[in-house]
Amino acid sequence: MSITFEPPASFAQCLLGTVEEHHELDEYQTGVPRWCNGCGDNGILAAMQRLCRDYDLAPERTVFVSGIGCSSRLPHYMRTYGFHGLHGRALPIAEGIKMSRPDLTVFVSTGDGDCLSIGAGHWLHALRYNMDMTVLLHDNSIYGLTKKQVSPTSPLGTKSNTTPKGSYLEALNPLQAALGIQNVSFIAQMVDWAPEMLYDILQAAYLHKGMSFVRIIQRCPEFMPGFFDPYMNDPERVLLLTHDDALTPSANMKKLFRNQRVHDPADMAAAREIAGISDPIPVGILFRDPTVPRLEVIRGAGSVRTPDRIRTGLDAELDKFTIWPDGDADRTGA
């Protein structure tokens, strides 16, 4: 890590760490991921670490929150703050953090079971609250950590420990559900096996002010072996959404994914129609509206703890213990 020191304006500023810092990739990495070989979570983690490095996110001002599941282990591998919460409860934890410390950058990792099953109530309201955070839905269409039970996104007929004869219902479509919620502001979808575009989507999600919800189609070779192979082996089965005001994929990506559609992310009706397409898998930004109100702003969150107020308060506290030269009436206030 290289640190450039500016002369601090005050001791309080020094304490608050307002010195400029630059971090290398390995400074966001910690631990050895315990995911299986070929698990899509590995690629999602790598993209997140790159994003933190490229935006020089201060580790002490960045929080990764998760529920429970294989995917929810992600905060363990980020050298930032992290909160590995309770099953289905990642979003209310993240909301609490954002409400009390809106100055922090908040990311959430949640699985299809964690978010869409036990956490579904929280999920719908989080979309409506539209608090500024980036939410990654690691959707492998199965409960991975607990060794293969159907999840809401398992396709009809999925054989699992809870449905040995095959699951009974059509899968829930989280994109369509999310786009039906009032106040929703950013919905995107990506596949884990296109790392360049995965990064681009995470970047757009991070830059969006409001709740960015990114569904990442994630491979689970352990319990859904080969499930996404037909899509991986045939790029025509991925539909690339492009627009000057959204994802602008590189020439290489456009060459690889030839099945393309120009889609303006401001167009909600078109977004809803695209959300209904499952084959080919649409990837890109389906909907984005930066003007949607955010709950933490409406509620004046963090007004007690803005950096300026903290600095002023700390300076005032420290001044109490300063020994001023005799007779310096102005400074002692005497």
The residues of the shown chain that bind ligand TPP, judged by CB under 6 A, are 68-71, 87, 111-114, 138, 140, 142-146, 151
Using rule CB under 6 A, residue 222 touches ligand SF4: yes
Query: Minimum Å distance from CB 214 to ligand TPP?
Result: 15
Whole-angstrom Cα distance, residue 67 to residue 70?
Answer: 10
Residue 95's binding partner out of ligand SF4, ligand TPP, Mg ion, none, with CB under 5 to 8 Å set by partner kind = none
Residue 29: strand pairing partners: 78
H or E element, residue 109: strand 105-111
Sole window of 12-20, 110-118, 264-272, 308-316 interacting with Mg ion (rule: CB under 5 A): 110-118
Question: Closer CB to ligand TPP, residue 142 or residue 275?
Answer: 142
Question: Closer CB to ligand TPP, residue 112 or residue 132?
Answer: 112
**Residue reference for tokens 């004869």:** 165
Contacting residue, 117, 130, 134, 140, with ligand SF4 by CB under 6 A: 140
Contacting residue, 129, 223, 231, 257, with ligand SF4 by CB under 6 A: 223
CA-wise closest residue to 106 among 24, 16, 211: 211
H or E element, residue 112: helix 112-113
Question: Closer CB to ligand TPP, residue 69 or residue 92?
Answer: 69
Alpha carbon distances (Å) from 319 to 125, 313, 323: 45, 10, 9
Question: Closer CB to ligand SF4, residue 39 or residue 190?
Answer: 39
Sole window of 136-144, 208-216, 281-289, 312-320 interacting with Mg ion (rule: CB under 5 A): 136-144
Cβ burial of 188 (10 Å; 0-12, 13-18, 19+) is: buried
Decide: helix, strand or coil at residue 304: helix
Residue 284: strand pairing partners: 189
CA-wise closest residue to 287 among 210, 194, 231: 210
Using rule CB under 6 A, residue 76 touches ligand SF4: no
Sole window of 13-21, 34-42, 116-124, 289-297 interacting with ligand SF4 (rule: CB under 6 A): 34-42
Residues that bind ligand SF4 (CB under 6 A): 35-36, 39, 41, 70, 140, 144, 220-223
